[in-house]
Chain A
Amino acid sequence: MENTKDESWHPLVEGDESRHDPLDEVANADHRKFLITALIGLVVLIALPFMVGDYYVSLLSEILIFGLLVSGVNLLLGYTGLVSLGHASFMGLGAYATAVIAALLGYPVWIAMLASILISLLIAYGVGLLSVRTKGVQFLLITLAFGQMFHAIAEKTRVTGGDDGMTNIPRIDLGFIGLDADHDRVFYFFVLFCFVVAMAILRRIVESPFGRVLVGIRENEKRMLAMGYSTFPYKALAFGISGMLAGLAGSLWVQHSFFVNPHIMTWEMSGEALLMVIIGGSQSFFGPLLGAAFYVLAKDLLSEITEAYLMFFGLIFVLVVAFFHGGLAGFAGKVSERFTRGKSGGEERQ
């Protein structure tokens, strides 16, 4: 359990401040790149809603909500190397928790949201304790089984309308700052606020020693074990955190759509989340967000053109996997690299 004392030989453990490590420079450059990307992204996300119509503002909210879900999925898929097919159920748990606490029990929405986050964290952690003992196909199937179980419970629960679901779920009351979240733009900025806070925390997590251990597990779990890490609690906690992000997404989703029913917990939803991650690029922090944006916008556009849009979706998916190594984010990274390196990059090739 105890970390090895000699830390100089591998990059997974934070080095001594006084020692000069060439890897630190790489890390600093990465960090700078991250900050620049995040800042540009934030400016775009703040400016966009003033440039588009109400409908696209609601689509933007949707993208950010799915962005939270897929970032959670990516903590497992991209960082830890675990493929879960049950994350829609944690989104559903968050959604139902908010719906029940706010709409049925009548508590303020912010309390319902906090409760949703906590409930999804605890339940996902519990599920994680049981399921991360397995890997590969077994892990995929056990998460699928848990997902189906939660879906079945939601279908059977009569106080929440069973399969029909329930509507008229309130949005958060922002009256204390004089705003009405029923307006699309106001709600969008509330979602953006939650999103930025969650992403900042997630970034802190993946950059921490904890996050490095997760990457180590993805790369070679046996080596991590040999180095003295008990990988099990790391994986279980990663599962819990990723479920929590899904729960927050669910809580925002019911407020966005005023509605919840078991459809949100189907395994197809979990599959869509995986698709978004893979299209966007699972090996990058922002990749899944690109994937979510691409998925929502492409679906919106294609479904206007043809009812058989899923066919084209499949085609795009195949093309991305075949030609864009690392998804859209990998592609964007390559383009920007070539752009910044300019001529020298071109010469190197020759």
Chain B
Amino acid sequence: MNAVRKITSLLAGAGLLAAASTSALAQDKTVKVGLLSDFSGVFAQLAKDVEDSWMLALEERGGMVAGYKVEIIKEDSENSPQVGVQKANKLIKSDNVAIFGGVISSGVGIALAGVADKEKTPFVAGFAIADPLTGKFCSPYVARTSFSANALQSAAGAYWAKQGVKTAVFMGPDYAAGQAMLAGFKNGFEAAGGKVVLEELTPFKTTKDWGPSLLKAQQTGADMIYTFYAGSEAVQVVKQHAAFGMQEKMPLRGAMWIYDEALWDAMGGVQMNAIHVTNYTNALDTEASEKFEKAFSDKYGRLPVASNAMGYTNAVAIFDGLAKAIEENGGNLPEDKAKIISALASLKLDNDPRGPVHFNKDNNAMQDNLYMVQIVEGPDGKPTHKVIDTFPYGEDLPGCNMK
């Protein structure tokens, strides 16, 4: 029996328990946790990043929380709200999970927030940065461990205005996320005295030539361009901006998406010396960050990136929130699952690799600081991050009316 238990806890550590039967260990207490994320589709890499960190966090806890063995049930939402809702229904009604998390896409995240609220089962978004998720659609059954678009971008806007940047052009794709990033940046930038002189929203997924937009930006004579693009669009914008010779006069800045590490090869060097805001970089040298970096690279043989850090916060919040809720309920899983979210939201994650993280009254994660990083040449000749400044975090948009 003991040997069986040892083997299964090892399996749990490796995250393979989803497939293993628990019938042999019926007397053991098990808590089921759903990992529902966009494992296929455009966010597949980010979803994998989050999963890797979940497995690391679970391994660090020996596969257990507060005496309960953790069983992870993985489901793919395929970057489709319809599929996401169906899989969430499966996790809640068929697998009886205590809580589920993950999810990259904002559309899927918002859909799941509604399901979680109606089915009274906690959901903890791992990425899904749309403001309404913990704003208009907030719920006692919903939390988020990443950040809201407004919190990050308004802080970045305020930072640049305070650095003496007076005018900026905003460029981004014309869909919900692009619009949210624009609104957030504008909030912070203009409140701190800057002025957005041109809002250039380009058709999403169909734009291939940013020449006209860049020309329009050039004519404004603004101090910088602030952007939100991701994936192949980011690569094209950065390259065309460089080809226009605008890097000196009107630098292209943004958040971690535009200069994502995964895109560096495709950018072919033009990303060097660019500056952008991020909520985590492996160049951070805090104790917590170094510890995470070591554990992660020991397990996976590569350095963690921002999406790994956010996946880690997601997993740690879920596991430690569960542990706290179980302990507060005398060693048993609480009947009222809203207590899991309230326990989670009361956590103070002082050892988070991103820096200290806590939750606000809307159950959304707030971190103490954000980081301005520059892409520089590392000692091995390869590009790497250098932290050039640390500045305060922003605020969420109002709009949450928790029942």
Binding site for B on A (CB under 8 A): 53-56, 58-59, 62, 155-156, 158, 161-169, 182, 184, 257-259, 261, 263-264, 300, 303, 307
Contacts and interface: CB of A to CB of B under 8 A. Distances in A.
Residue among A155, A162, A264 having the largest count of chain B Cβ atoms under 10 Å: A162
A55 B89 contact: yes
Contacts of B154: none
B94 interface: yes
A165 B81 contact: yes
Given A263-B107, A303-B76, A258 B130 contact: no
Interface stretch (B174-182, B187-195, B224-232): B174-182
B323 interface: no
A307 B114 contact: no
A162 B130 CA distance: 11
Contact of B106 (A54, A164, A259, A307): A164
Contacts of A55: 89-90, 92-94
Given A58-B93, A263-B80, A161 B132 contact: yes
Q: What size tier do the contact residues of chain B reach?
A: 20 to 34
Contacts of B80: 263
A259 B89 contact: no
Contacts of A163: 106-107, 175-177, 204
Contacts of A263: 80-82, 107
Contact of A300 (B86, B111, B176): B86
A169 B114 CA distance: 8
A300 B93 CA distance: 14
B114 A261 contact: no
A257 B81 CA distance: 9
Nearest to B180: A164
Given A164-B107, A257-B115, 10 more contacts: A55-B92, A55-B94, A59-B89, A62-B86, A164-B132, A164-B176, A167-B137, A257-B85, A300-B86, A307-B39
A264 B80 CA distance: 9
B100 to A, nearest CB: 14
A162 B179 contact: yes
A264 to B, nearest CB: 7
Interface in B1-54: 39-40
B82 A257 contact: yes
Nearest to A258: B114
B113 interface: yes
A302 B111 CA distance: 23
B110 interface: yes
Given A158-B179, A258-B115, A165 B93 contact: no
Contacts of B107: 163-165, 261, 263
Contacts of A58: 86, 89, 93
Contact of B113 (A59, A167, A303): A167
A303 B76 CA distance: 8
B382 interface: no
A16 to B, nearest CB: 51
A297 to B, nearest CB: 12
A247 B19 CA distance: 40
Nearest to B83: A303
Nearest to B87: A303
8 contacts: A162-B179, A164-B110, A164-B177, A166-B137, A168-B114, A257-B114, A258-B114, A300-B86
Contact of A165 (B111, B174, B177): B111
B89 A307 contact: no
A54 B93 contact: yes
A161 B110 contact: yes
Given A54-B93, A263-B80, A162 B175 contact: yes
Contacts of A264: 81-82
A196 B107 CA distance: 32
Interface of B: 39-40, 76, 80-82, 85-86, 89-90, 92-94, 106-107, 110-111, 113-115, 117-118, 130, 132, 137, 174-177, 179, 204
B13 to A, nearest CB: 23
B40 A307 contact: yes
A261 B94 contact: no
B86 A162 contact: no
Which 8 interchain pairs have the tightest Cβ spacing?
A: A167-B114, A55-B94, A54-B93, A55-B93, A163-B176, A162-B176, A258-B114, A164-B176
Contacts of A54: 93-94
B309 to A, nearest CB: 24
Contacts of B76: 303, 307
Contact of B175 (A155, A257, A300): A155
A53 B117 CA distance: 20
A260 to B, nearest CB: 8
Contacts of B93: 53-55, 58, 184
A259 B133 CA distance: 13
A162 B201 CA distance: 14
Contacts of A155: 175, 204
B82 A164 contact: no
A166 B90 CA distance: 21
Contacts of B117: 167-168, 258
A165 B89 CA distance: 19
B177 A259 contact: no
Nearest to A164: B176
A258 B92 CA distance: 15
A261 B176 CA distance: 11
B81 A258 contact: no
Contacts of A258: 111, 114-115, 117-118
B175 A165 contact: no
Contacts of A184: 93
Contact of B110 (A53, A165, A303): A165
A126 B204 CA distance: 29
Contacts of A261: 81, 107, 110-111
A294 to B, nearest CB: 16
B175 A166 contact: no
Contacts of A168: 114, 117, 137
Given A165-B81, A263-B107, A300-B86, A53 B118 contact: no
B124 to A, nearest CB: 16
B203 to A, nearest CB: 9
A167 B117 CA distance: 10
Contact of A257 (B111, B130, B137, B176): B111
Contacts of A161: 110, 132, 176
A128 B386 CA distance: 60
B110 A166 contact: yes
A167 B175 contact: no
A233 to B, nearest CB: 35
Nearest to B106: A164
A137 B273 CA distance: 52
A221 B175 CA distance: 44
